[in-house]
Amino acid sequence: MERLLLNQAYTGTVEGYSSEGLGIVRINGAVVFVPRAVRGEEVRLRIVKAMKTSYAGEIEEILTASPERVEPDCPYFGECGGCVYRHMTYAEELQSKLQKVNDALRRIGGLTLRAEEILGAENPLHYRNKAQYPVGADGAVGFYRRRSHRVIPVERCQICAPAADETAGAVGAWMKKYGVSPYDEKTGKGLVRHVYVRTNRAGESLCCVVLNGKNAPREPELAAMILAAAPKTVGVVLNGNVSRGNVILGERYRTLWGQDFLMDELCGLEFKLSVPSFYQVNREQAEVLYGKAVEFAGLTGTETVLDLYCGAGTITLAMSKAAKRVIGAEIVPEAIENARENAARNGISNAEFFLGDAADIAAKLEREGLRPDVICVDPPRKGLAPEVVDSVAAMGPARVVYVSCDPATLARDLKRFAELGYRAERAVAADLFPGTAHVECLILMTYCGDKRK
């Protein structure tokens, strides 16, 4: 590999995309990652950073543009760290994400299995039903600049619900009008840290303002300004988080106005959602994903299903319609409370829920002799801890359905499952996060019966 020079211009062709959505250009054997590039384009780029095994570059001129290139529809694109794909067609974005999943399965998982398809969104705009707006030390309310904690003020986001933008703007206006201090993560001083908004199918919203403390000045005015900006707000909640670090929500909540939950409809079921409950951010695509998960589970009405990381019970209750018994487990107390209420609200009597860490619950149920026919896991981005994989395999389900928001950790976990006798049989990708570098994927594993230790 020839060494490339910083600030030197080179010409090359964009071959494909990295897992973060960056264009890949090879110059004299060296790999250069280039933002806002489109596959097939010939570009003149400048080297801006040298890394251990690769380089970072910036496009100076597009010599031959791809027919898949489009004019970005967001004025913050390239500065805001949220979206990476607003410069290409949605069809090209889907191909990039499908490549990301299949590359992870092959390179990290060592599998020949490929995703059958990628399930694209019918509407890739304004789909997010949860938005988290950090507040900068200068009072800006918006989103982080890419690879930094500097907040860019954002008035309108192409992927968030308009009511969320209006709510965030109202909190910023309240801070400015009454001189309420923003939180400074460097000093640990200041009051307002985040604005957190949930929205539902009916256009209603629930606002949570995260404070570096218990109380805020001018609280009635805060509620009034939020309601004036977003009239369909059903509740305003204050959350106290005095810890130093990147965790958004603290443990203490106080309802300032209205209610501390939001109702929504998903897969024909009604769900009650508190602020910390896990719930897929793209409702329409979640219904597509969960429908495929039920298909992969192969339920006939006689099975026992265990759903780890169940959140507010969405997948658990979706599978209850076709199973004999469903069991959900989740570590967030409010989410389990919501899940139990959701089961009762929807008249579902074959579901039960346990509060606790997935590893602890799985080990406990395994010791008690539970032998589910199907186990579904939908872990956070870090994937499954090794002990969770071991406990799942020890219970001996015929099928394991793995829902993942990170193909890399999924592929890593599939290698561990393979060592315990579980083979990945089917895979699909689903785009629950249009515009961003993230992609959801779904794997069906079956027990082969010849590798169990």
Distance CA 151, CA 17 (A): 27
Q: Quick one: tokens of 451?
A: 């590798």
Name residue 71's amino acid.
E
Q: Are 2 and 28 a contacting pair, CB within 8 Å?
A: yes
Which member of 207, 208, 405, 441 is catalytic?
Answer: 405
Q: Quick one: tokens of 200?
A: 């539902």
Distance CA 249, CA 235 (A): 17
Task: Tell me the helix, strand and coil percentages in the chain, rounded to 5.
Answer: 25, 35, 40
Distance CA 322, CA 324 (A): 7
Considering Cα of 222, then 226, then 227, then 233, what sign does the dihedral take?
Answer: negative
> DSSP for 415-450?
HHHHHTTEEEEEEEEE-SSTTSS--EEEEEEEE-SS
Strand boundaries in 338-411, DSSP class E: 351-355, 374-377, 399-404
Instruction: Check if 207 is active-site.
Output: no
The catalytic residue positions are: 405
